[in-house]
Chains A and B, each alone.
Chain A
Amino acid sequence: MRDNPVLRIVAKIIIPVILLFALYVQFHGDFGPGGGFQAGVIFAAGFILYGLVFGTEALRNAIPPGLLRFVIALGLVLYAGVGATTMLLGSDYLAYGALAHDLIGGQHLGIFLVELGVGITVSAVIVTIFLAFAGRNDP
């Protein structure tokens, strides 16, 4: 597929749109449909499209596997870290009210960080699974 100019150009145009849409779904999940999981999957889909059109080797150059391994853990640590922070602030685990002066502000900040953690880990895991599966097809 690497020699097909139509695919290459369409992919180059559409990948930034996919990534931007994923960020929209991530940060607009409080107000409309969507959230961390959906955003993570869509974000990963952008990278997978890149890998399909330009080859898994190019994708591996774009995201080094070592970084990917780090990012997989980062999201879960962020989520669990929000819970640890609320405990350190003297509240229950994952009780977001302690994160700000008022309950609503704390809930907004807590849900924002938690959904971000979900999105980070989900997107990294899906890109990892794609690389592990499709990388075996390389000659």
Chain B
Amino acid sequence: MLIETINIVLLGMLALTALAAVRLHDLFAVTIMFGMYSLLAAVVFVVLDAVDVAFTEAAVGVGISTVLMLATIGLVGRHEQRPAHRPLLPLLVVAVTGAALVYGTLDMPFFADPAAPVHQHVVPYYLGKSPEQTGIPNVVTSILASYRGYDTLGELAVIFTAGVGVLALLGLRRRKRPSKEHPTP
């Protein structure tokens, strides 16, 4: 009962934060709302016993992405511009997509159902064999780094590519302002 109450309060606050982020027009406040949303999501992960995911969400979602969005707001200004067109068609597309996704969840196994396919496939093998095969107490680490080592190598390559892409597009050298070097008459 206690867990249900905590979940309802957390998910309700998540929904309220999302609504506030949609309603606000000050982009600085919206960024802070996104940070709060990530923090609440991290707490939800803790309640679900997914502490590794919660750790990542708290560090990336609350910390890094908020700082990056604030840096971007510093470049583009903090006030949202009025949309030039009526957003009815995008609203329709979003509503239809959301309804399709909700319809898709009806076929999914119930939350924490032990008979769900995801709990029947390789997970029993990993949970049973990990202590004797790797000797590492944290099964998340042994799955990520050993059993799923190829996947993690691929993920690291994705992060590497993201860094190279940012370097190629933006670069790290500070751009000299052309107006100061070559004053236009």
Chain A residues packing against B (C-beta within 8 Å): 25, 29-38, 41-42, 44-45, 48, 52, 60, 65, 68-69, 72-73, 75-76, 79-80, 83, 93-94, 96, 103-104, 107-108, 110-111, 114-115, 117-118, 121-122, 124-126, 128-138
Contact = CB atoms under 8 A, between A and B. Distances in A.
Nearest to A103: B133
Contacts, number: 146
Nearest to B167: A128
A53 B135 CA distance: 43
Contacts of B175: 136
Interface of B: 51-52, 54-56, 59-60, 63-64, 67-68, 71-72, 74-75, 133-138, 140-142, 144-146, 149-150, 152-153, 156-157, 159-160, 162-164, 166-167, 170-175
B67 A48 contact: yes
A132 B142 contact: no
Nearest to A48: B67
B2 to A, nearest CB: 22
User: What 9 pairs across the A-B complex have the smallest Cβ distances?
Assistant: A125-B163, A33-B51, A104-B135, A132-B170, A65-B172, A94-B149, A134-B71, A41-B59, A107-B134
Give chain B's interface secondary structure class.
helix
A67 B74 CA distance: 27
Given A41-B64, A128-B167, A130-B71, A135 B172 contact: yes
Given A30-B137, A79-B153, A121 B160 contact: yes
Give chain A's interface secondary structure class.
helix
Contacts of B60: 41
A38 B59 contact: yes
Given A103-B133, A104-B135, A107-B135, A132 B59 contact: no
Contacts of B140: 33, 35
Contact of A65 (B141, B142, B146, B173): B173
B136 A107 contact: yes
B156 A115 contact: no
